[in-house]
Amino acid sequence: MRKAYLAIICLFAGLNAFAQHADVQPVPQQMSESGQRITLPGIYQFTGDTEANPYAVQQLKQLLAGKHSAKEGLRIYIGEKGDKSVRKFARQIPNRKEGYYLCINDKEIVLAGNDERGTFYALQTLSRLLKDNQLPAVEIKDYPSIRFRGVVEGFYGTPWSHAARLRQLKFYGENKMNTYIYGPKDDPYHSSPNWRLPYPEKEAKQLQELVKVAKENEVDFVWAIHPGQDIKWNQEDRDNLLAKFEKMYDLGVRSFAVFFDDISGEGTNPVKQAELLNYIDENFVKVKKDVTPLVMCPTEYNKSWSDPKGGYLTTLGDKLNPSIQIMWTGDRVISDITKDGIQWINERIKRPAYIWWNFPVSDYVRDHLLLGPVYGNDTQIADQMSGFVTNPMEHAEASKIAIYGVASYSWNPEKYDSEKTWKDAIKNIMPTSAEELEFFAAHNSDLGANGHRYRRDESVALQPVAQSFTDSYIKGGKYNESDYTALQETFGRMTESGDILLTDAENTPLVEEMKPWLAQFKLLGETGGEVLAMAKAYESGNQELFMRKYKHVKALQQQMFQIDQTYNQNPYQPGVKTATKVIKPLIDQTFAAVTERYNKKYSTLLDATTDYMPHKLISDVEQIKNLPLQLKTNRIQVSPALEVIKWQAKGFITIELDNVYPGLSIDIDFGKPEVATWGVLEVSTDGKEWKKIDYKQEKNRLTADLKKAPVKAVRFSNSQDKEQEIYLRRFIITVDK
Measure the CA–CA gap between 116 and 121, rounded to whole angstroms.
9
**How sure is the predictor about 609, in pLDDT bands with cuts at 50, 70 and 90?**
confident
For residue 13, pLDDT beyond 70: no
Q: 241-286: per-residue pLDDT in tens?
A: 999 999 999 999 999 999 999 999 999 999 999 999 999 999 999 9
Q: Amino acid identity of 282?
A: E
**Chain-centre distance for alpha carbon 546:** 43
Neighbours of 613 (CB within 10 A): 13
For residue 128, pLDDT beyond 80: yes
Q: 56-101: per-residue pLDDT in tens?
A: 999 999 999 999 999 999 999 999 999 999 999 999 999 999 999 9
Residue 614 has what pLDDT?
Answer: 84
For residue 19, pLDDT beyond 90: no
For residue 157, pLDDT beyond 60: yes
Q: Which of 412, 409, 447, 443 is nearest to 425 (CA)?
A: 409
**How sure is the predictor about 632, in pLDDT bands with cuts at 50, 70 and 90?**
confident
Indicate the DSSP class of residue 458. -
SS3 content of the chain, % helix, strand, coil (to 5): 40, 20, 40
Angle CA 558–560–562, to nearest 5: 70
Contacts of 132 (CB under 8 A, 6+ apart): none
Q: Evaluate whether 293 touches 325 at the Cβ level (below 8 Å).
A: yes
For residue 193, pLDDT beyond 50: yes
Q: 644-703: per-residue pLDDT in tens?
A: 999 999 999 999 999 999 999 999 999 999 999 999 999 999 999 999 999 999 999 999
Neighbours of 225 (CB within 10 A): 22
Contacts of 51 (CB under 8 A, 6+ apart): 79, 83, 84, 85
Element (H, E) at 485: helix 481-502
Q: Evaluate whether 115 touches 81 at the Cβ level (below 8 Å).
A: yes
For residue 5, pLDDT beyond 70: no
**How sure is the predictor about 21, in pLDDT bands with cuts at 50, 70 and 90?**
low
Q: Evaluate whether 632 touches 732 at the Cβ level (below 8 Å).
A: no
Mean pLDDT score across all residues of the chain = 95
Q: Evaluate whether 422 touches 372 at the Cβ level (below 8 Å).
A: yes
Whole-angstrom CA distances from 298 to 212, 327, 683 are 29, 7, 39
Q: How many CA atoms lie within 13 A of 335 on its CB side?
A: 18
Q: Which of 40, 13, 23 is nearest to 128 (CA)?
A: 23
Pairing of strands 295-297, 255-259: parallel
Residue 612 has what pLDDT?
Answer: 66
Residue 10 has what pLDDT?
Answer: 46
Q: 410-428: per-residue pLDDT in tens?
A: 999 999 999 999 999 999 9
Indicate the SS3 state at residue 1: coil
**Phi and psi at residue 396, to the nearest 5°:** -65, -45
Contacts of 26 (CB under 8 A, 6+ apart): 175, 176, 407, 408, 411, 412
pTM of the model: 0.92
**Which entry of 262, 281, 367, 446 is annotated as an active-site residue?**
262
Mean pLDDT value of segment 554-569: 94
**How sure is the predictor about 611, in pLDDT bands with cuts at 50, 70 and 90?**
confident
Active site residue 262: yes
Q: How many CA atoms lie within 13 A of 617 on its CB side?
A: 26
Q: Which of 335, 381, 370 is nearest to 356 (CA)?
A: 335
- How are strands ordered across the β-sheet holding 134-142? 30-39, 134-142, 100-104, 108-113, 74-80, 43-47, 68-69
Residue 571 has what pLDDT?
Answer: 84
**Least-confidence region, from 12-26, 40-54, 535-549:** 12-26
For residue 14, pLDDT beyond 80: no
Task: Tell me whether residue 660 is exposed, middle or buried, using C-beta atoms within 10 angstroms of its C-beta: 0 to 12, 13 to 18, 19 or more.
Answer: middle
Residue 719 has what pLDDT?
Answer: 97
**Least-confidence region, from 120-124, 141-145, 606-610:** 606-610
**How sure is the predictor about 494, in pLDDT bands with cuts at 50, 70 and 90?**
very high
Residue 186 has what pLDDT?
Answer: 85
Mean pLDDT value of segment 427-434: 97
Q: 365-374: per-residue pLDDT in tens?
A: 999 999 999 9
For residue 17, pLDDT beyond 90: no
Neighbours of 720 (CB within 10 A): 15
